[in-house]
Amino acid sequence: MENLNGRKLVEAGDLCERRNGRGVDLNRNWSVDWGKKEKDYDPYEENPGNAPFSEPEAQIMRKLTKSFEPHIWVNVHSGMEALFMPYDHKNSTPSGLASRLMRSMLQDLNHHYFQDKCLVGSGGGSVGYLAHGTTTDYMYDIAKVPMAFTFEIYGDLSASSKDCFKMFNPVDKVTFNRVLNKWVATFLMLFEMVPSRIDSIHLAVSAVKWVPIGGNVVDGTLIGDSRESKKIEGLELGMQELRTYFRLFLLSSVLLMFMFCSRISKSKCRPTYSNLSI
């Protein structure tokens, strides 16, 4: 359990507590757009800490992510029913193939298990407020996890804002089992979908065409009937080639100098003969 001290506060009766034991919201303690405050900012609700990754819980999760480079990230919340993708800190979703695949997956899940009733899209564009320094945005933008999601798995909109347990949790067995079974099936379908989608991204990346120094890289990806071209500067590739040529030049120069010196040395060591006759 990552937020052990925060959980202790909840179990002690503070059912609306969402922060850790030091009063920091761990889902605002990550580095993407950290610390930005909206007009409705409430430090009790979303205290981001003194700096990105100031909290050991966030540091642990970051270290864990770096240790095995996951293909998928799902941040599970409650408060409503929604299937979100980046971004949380702005009212838009990423561009490119991975973003389109994520949205397609969420739409399929929504149609299959929720009769298209879940909100689908960016968290920042769907919930009515922007969230800065969130885990999902970090996973997608910095950790480069190709599939990053936030799932809101339950919410009782009729509950009082002071009754956080009822607002965020099913309170009867029938509802609990229904929510549990539906989301377990959703996750199983998601895990079945991911490998083929990841392969599509890898194939698109491998299709990139490289050109010589000073040129551009063009990535053409065909999605359905539409084709988009993305130009990527080839400067870094050119610099790598220059470094290689320079190393080869130095090596050749050293070898030539060695051969030249060896030849001089041999000429000095040749025996000399006197013109005196015996």
**Cα–Cα nearest to 153, from 86, 84, 76:** 76
**Cα–Cα nearest to 109, from 129, 81, 89:** 81
Judged by phi (left if over 0) then psi (alpha if -120 to 50, else beta), residue 15 lies in alpha
Rounded Cα distance between 248 and 84, Å, is 51
Residue-by-residue DSSP string for 147-195: EEEEEEEE--TTS-TT-HHHHHS--SHHHHHHHHHHHHHHHHHHHHHHH
* Owner of token pair 């359990």: 1
Rounded Cα distance between 101 and 200, Å, is 9
Which H/E stretch holds residue 77? strand 72-77
Of these residues, 152, 228, 233, 241, which one is catalytic?
A: 152
Any catalytic annotation for residue 152?
A: yes
Q: How far is residue 212 from each of residues 40, 229, 233, 236, 250, measured CA to CA in Å?
A: 51, 18, 11, 11, 22
Helix then strand then coil, % of the chain, to nearest 5: 45, 15, 40
Rounded Cα distance between 79 and 153, Å, is 7
Cis amide prior to 87 (ω within 30 degrees): yes
Count other C-beta atoms under 10 Å from residue 180's C-beta: 13
Q: Enumerate the active-site residues.
A: 152
